Amino acid sequence: MGEPDLNDLLHAAEQLECEAQGIGRLPRIERSLRQLTEASNELWSKVTTTGAQDIQANLLLGSKGVDLPQLSQKLDSLSTRKWFESLEPIPDNDIQNFLKNETENAVLSLIENTHRFTFKQLEQNCQKEMFYSWENEKRKLLNSFMGHSISVVELPVSHEYSTINESQLTQCPMDQYEMAYAQALIEYNTAILCGDMSPNLVEKFAAAVASFHDSKVNDMWDMVKYMSDLSSPALSSQESETFPRSSPLIQAEMIAQARKYLENRYQLFMNNKLSQSLAEVRRGVPGTYSLVTAFLKLQMLSGSISSLGLDDLQVDNLPYWVLVYYLLRCGDLESAISVTKSLGPSMNEMYRVLVDLKDNGGGRVSSKMERWLKNQYKPYVRNSSDPYKRLVYSALGACSIADEHSEVVLTADDYLWLKLVQVRTPPEGVLLRDSHAAISADILSYDVLQSMIIEEYGETYYEASVNPSLYFQMLMLTGQFEAGLEFLVRTPRLRCHGVHMAIALLKSGHLAVTGSSEAPLLSIESHDPPPSRRLNPSRLITLYTNRFETSAPREALHYYFTLRDTAAPGPPHNMFALCVSALALQTRDYVAIFGGLDGEGCVSPGLLHEFGNRESDIRSVVLYTAESSENKGKLLSCSL
């Protein structure tokens, strides 16, 4: 054999080295860096796919002799049958087990059906209660939106600190005015329920708050007294769709009452002016004439009335036209006639005009005399330098209604008195839509005057937010009761007065109410003559009683009793019963409201028994409340 090759020697050496290391016949493999990287990445991907937690679990359980993959297979093979699942059928030949299985299946089926029905009923009741609660919240929210005022006044907030321990005081949600009104209403309702003669609720409410000596409130009640003291029978809007004050007869009487109020108020103003004056003025014989003459002398002495431009005609050293105007302004037509007659033949025409005015009841002169006044006014009197003469002719003859007579008419009372004197009924076929049409026709109708006050002037012109009583006066004396009362309700400090004025006018039949108890507080209906409004007494009273109905339920029930003749939109078709039921469900004090059984089994009367002894009436309210309570899922427990 020849000399071995070097490669053979290298191979033999490597084999000997492998045998020495115990590797076997395979030679050692050498890898590059790239191959090592690929191998390590492949190994890492296998480890991460299995999961580090699974590896740790395998290591932990494997050390205890547990095979994790085999354990997982055993768990998956276990039965996952749910509760109340029907049992597996068994062969028919096993009668005992078959009956047992059927019985268990029937019981389980009944339990499952009851469970499903109970949850469905619970869900429906929860939804119904939620909707009912939301409806109540929505109704309260809508009721709180009573309107808005164009003028907003920023009032400074003053911080006051009390030294009294308020925890010792009894909190009462009703102030002194509200408690006085509530007591008067309880007395009124008691008289009605006892069958006595129905008292005048306007007089009763006015007397209840007169002791507080609030001049503004007393003046407002005086206005209500005058405007509700109508000899013509009031047409209740609940009996007919006709607006209750659209009759020309009632409108003429309201104009007369408004003028009477303004004239008496002006006499009171003169008396106060004279009593406050330090000047010595002789009044002479007590009466309107002496009052007017003394007032004129005082005004002329103080320079309030200037003689510049006045007519030379005088009576008792006083300008005649000034004297006649103030006599008419105070409603003393007799003295005006007497003064005019004393001037002799030179004033015969004016004397006949005043006598004609008296013969026609003092409201307006005849058509013949009115034509004469207008014929004299346009070419002659209108150019006179005497403002009082122009004003007397304009008032008596309704001449040039656009003239404001600003030299004499200085206050809202004077302006309203003049316009009320100038009101006329338009001829047939003449339609006056607004003040522009009235000025063109030189005729001021009652509805145009109302529109001027509420729409053309409105709250901004009269600064209603600063002086609310003035704006209320302008609305009330022009026969716009509903708009005036709604304005008072929107004024927080006058709200309770407005509510009780509305109740008094409602009971006297002079309030125009809405046809539906769900209508807004103040609404305009298409069949009413503009600018008429209607008031919703149901919304007004429930809004007012919301604040104290839970703490003073007896007083709240008496307010609800004023709605006994008002129809409700659904059962029980009566707002009184509906409000009582709502109060009972809210307070859940059924025994106090409806009555109950005492310890001896006798029936103890509740608050509702004050409003009648007829068991059928009380039972109907209780039954309706019970039905409503049952529908809401509540329990009603009281004696029927």
| Residue 239 clears pLDDT 50, i.e. is over it | no
For residue 457, the 8-state DSSP code is I
Q: Identify any residues that bridge with 603 across adjacent strands, giving them in sequence order.
A: 597
> Which of left, alpha, beta for 223 (phi over 0: left; psi -120 to 50: alpha)?
alpha
Q: Strands 318-319 and 595-597: what pairing?
A: unpaired
Q: What's the pLDDT at 96?
A: 81
Mean pLDDT confidence for 154-171:
36
- What is the percent of the chain where pLDDT is above 90? 48
In whole angstroms, what is the distance from residue 82 CA to residue 370 CA?
A: 102
Cβ 90 vs Cβ 101: under 8 Å: yes
* 445-472 pLDDT tens trace: 999 999 999 999 999 999 999 999 999 9
* Other Cβ atoms within 10 Å of 100 Cβ, number: 13
Q: What's the pLDDT at 403?
A: 93
| Residue 379 clears pLDDT 60, i.e. is over it | yes
Q: What's the pLDDT at 33?
A: 78
Considering only 51-60, 190-199, 329-338, 522-531, which range has the smallest mean pLDDT? 51-60
The residues near 210 (Cβ < 8 Å, ≥ 6 apart) are 218, 221
Summary mean pLDDT of the chain = 83
Q: What's the pLDDT at 93?
A: 65
Considering only 199-213, 265-279, 391-405, 480-494, which range has the smallest mean pLDDT? 265-279
In whole angstroms, what is the distance from residue 550 CA to residue 593 CA?
A: 11
Mean pLDDT confidence for 510-537:
91
15 pLDDT band, cuts 50/70/90, is confident
Mean pLDDT confidence for 497-522:
93
61 pLDDT band, cuts 50/70/90, is confident
Runs of H (alpha helix) within 342-480: 348-359, 367-377, 387-397, 412-422, 435-441, 446-451, 458-461, 468-477
* Beta-strand runs (E) in 254-377: 314-315, 318-319
Q: Please, what is the end-to-end C-alpha distance for the chain in angstroms?
A: 135
* Other Cβ atoms within 10 Å of 535 Cβ, number: 27
Q: What's the pLDDT at 3?
A: 55
Considering only 394-398, 476-480, 633-637, which range has the smallest mean pLDDT? 633-637
The residues near 365 (Cβ < 8 Å, ≥ 6 apart) are 353, 356, 357, 373, 396, 397
27 pLDDT band, cuts 50/70/90, is low
86 pLDDT band, cuts 50/70/90, is low
Q: What's the pLDDT at 146?
A: 47
CA 551 to chain CA centroid, Å, is: 21
Q: What's the pLDDT at 616?
A: 60
Tokens of 578: 């509906």
Q: What's the pLDDT at 523?
A: 92
Q: What's the pLDDT at 237?
A: 45
Phi/psi of residue 582, nearest 5 degrees: -65, -40
Q: What's the pLDDT at 284?
A: 54
242 pLDDT band, cuts 50/70/90, is low
Mean pLDDT confidence for 250-260:
95
Q: What's the pLDDT at 282?
A: 54
Q: Strands 603-605 and 522-523: what pairing?
A: unpaired
Q: Which residue has the higher pLDDT, 584 or 44?
A: 584
Considering only 129-143, 439-453, 502-516, which range has the smallest mean pLDDT? 129-143
User: 387 preceded by cis ω (within 30°)?
Assistant: no
* 108-132 pLDDT tens trace: 989 988 988 998 888 888 888 888 7
In whole angstroms, what is the distance from residue 612 CA to residue 558 CA?
A: 12
Cβ 624 vs Cβ 571: under 8 Å: yes
526 pLDDT band, cuts 50/70/90, is confident
In whole angstroms, what is the distance from residue 109 CA to residue 237 CA?
A: 63
The residues near 590 (Cβ < 8 Å, ≥ 6 apart) are 584, 596, 625, 636, 637, 638
138 pLDDT band, cuts 50/70/90, is confident
Q: Which residue has the tokens 């002791």?
A: 211
Q: What is the 3-state secondary structure (H, E, C) of 521-562?
A: CEECCCCCCCCCCEECHHHHHHHHHCCCCCCCHHHHHHHHHC
Mean pLDDT confidence for 238-251:
73
615 pLDDT band, cuts 50/70/90, is low
Mean pLDDT confidence for 55-72:
71
